[in-house]
Each structure stands twice: as C-alpha cells, then as structure tokens.
C-alpha cells in the first residue's frame, strides 16, 4: 500500500514537472530597412560625409541628386516599445550600425549652429527614441523625439531649399506642414528573435 502511494505521488510530481517545463514563446522584433524622404523637398536622409563610419556625422536631406549628394543612405527602423502603450522607434544606419540621435550643435558649427541636429552615435543607449505621428500626406509621418513632444524633425530652413545638402534639425512643431513631414520607403525587413 505504501509502495503504491509513493508510486502515485512520484507520477503526480513528474507530471507537474513536465507541465511547468513547457517552453515559453520567444519574442521577435522586426526591423524595416529603407530610406526617408522629405515630403516638401523630396530629398532623402543622407550623411554629410559619404562613407564616414564614425559617430558624430550629421544627417541631412539632399534635394539635388545632380549635385552628387543625392545618394540614398539606407537606415534601419525598429520598434523598441517593449509593451509600452505608445510605440517608439530607433533609427540606425544600414551600413555602419550606428544609431541616430538629435544632439545640439555648437554655436561655431558651419551647419545649423545651436540647433538639435540629427547625427550618428555609436550606441543605442545614446540614440534618440522617436514617436511617429500621421504626417501631412497619406502614409507620411511627423517624427518627434520621445521625450520632447514640443518639437519634431524638420530641415534647416536657413539653408536654401535648392542646396545640395541640408541638415535635418529638431524644430518647433507646425501642424499640417509638408516641410516637417517625412515618408519612409521600406526596401527589406529583418526579423530578430531574443
């Protein structure tokens, strides 16, 4: 009788162990590879210095392909919300893995002095997290830093709209403004599992 009871208890404990050891679902993250263009200028996000893999390189738009700066730099767009109610995103360069951040330039900088300018940083910890809101055109976005809803990405208006390269800056929000509205074009997707 005691042997039978111990056997029943052992089987019950074994089945409990098997039940609790069920595999958990792995989280997957999908990143989009593509490029960003401005709805007003038509130019795409482009590094100031082509081929420069270091951090601290400014990102701008190139409305004039014939000027030689109209190359399309590919970027990676990733949702990093991790279950938060409001999704937020990071951008990274497709060729270097550097992330994008809005950092204030010094008063002596040749471009956009004293403005928060989009540029490359080496780690995700230093990256700016962005909120994407519906933009001026169907499918376009207004892009706001996650921690500052009073500004959004625009282009440096003191530069001529016909310039070969214009910095992407952080500027005060203007609703229904095509110059602050951006369209993302996806060329590929990558899915990661943790």
CATH number (domain holding residue 167):
2.80.10.50
> In this predicted structure, what is the pLDDT of residue 144?
95
Q: Report angle CA 39, 41, 46 to the nearest 5 degrees.
A: 95
Locate 68 and state its tokens: 């030689």
Which residue range is the domain that position 176 belongs to?
28-193
What DSSP assignment string belongs to 138-154?
Answer: TT-EEEEETT-TTEEEE
> Is position 7 within any domain?
no
The total number of structural domains in the chain stands at 1
Establish if 181 belongs to a structural domain: yes
Closest to 181 (Cα-Cα) out of 131, 139, 118, 125:
139
Q: Residue 173 and residue 154: Cα distance in Å, rounded?
A: 9
> Does 15 fall in a domain?
no
d(CA 140, CA 36): 10
Whether 10 is in a domain gets the answer no
Give me the pLDDT at residue 78, please: 93
Using CA atoms, how far apart are residues 145 and 160, in angstroms rounded to an integer? 25
Residue 194 confidence (pLDDT): 60
Does some domain include residue 97? yes
pLDDT score for 110: 76
In a domain, 18, yes or no: no
Which stretches of the chain drop beneath a pLDDT of 50? Answer: 1-26
What is the reported pLDDT for 130? 96
Q: Does 14 map to a domain?
A: no
90: its two tokens: 């990071």
User: 20 lies in a domain?
Assistant: no
DSSP state of 51: T
pTM for this one? Answer: 0.79
- Please report the pLDDT score of residue 9 as a whole number: 36
What integer pLDDT is reported at residue 105 of this predicted model? 85
d(CA 121, CA 175): 29
């Amino acid at each position: 009788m005691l042997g039978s009871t111990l056997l029943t208890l052992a089987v019950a404990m074994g089945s409990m162990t098997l039940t609790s050891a069920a595999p958990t679902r792995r989280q997957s993250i999908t990143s989009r590879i593509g490029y960003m263009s401005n709805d007003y200028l038509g130019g795409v996000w482009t590094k100031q210095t082509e081929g420069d893999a270091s951090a601290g390189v400014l990102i701008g738009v190139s409305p004039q392909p014939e000027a030689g700066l109209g190359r399309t730099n590919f970027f990676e767009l990733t949702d990093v919300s991790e279950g938060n109610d409001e999704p937020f995103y990071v951008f990274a360069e497709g060729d270097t893995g550097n992330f994008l951040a809005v950092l204030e330039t010094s008063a002596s900088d040749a471009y956009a002095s004293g403005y928060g300018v989009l540029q490359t940083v080496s780690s995700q910890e230093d990256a700016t997290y962005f909120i994407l809101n519906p933009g001026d055109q169907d499918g376009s976005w207004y892009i706001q830093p996650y921690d500052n809803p009073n500004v959004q990405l625009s282009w440096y208006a003191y530069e001529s709209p016909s310039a070969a390269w214009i910095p992407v800056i952080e500027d005060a929000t203007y609703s229904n403004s095509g110059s602050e509205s951006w369209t993302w074009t996806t060329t590929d997707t990558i899915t990661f599992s943790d």
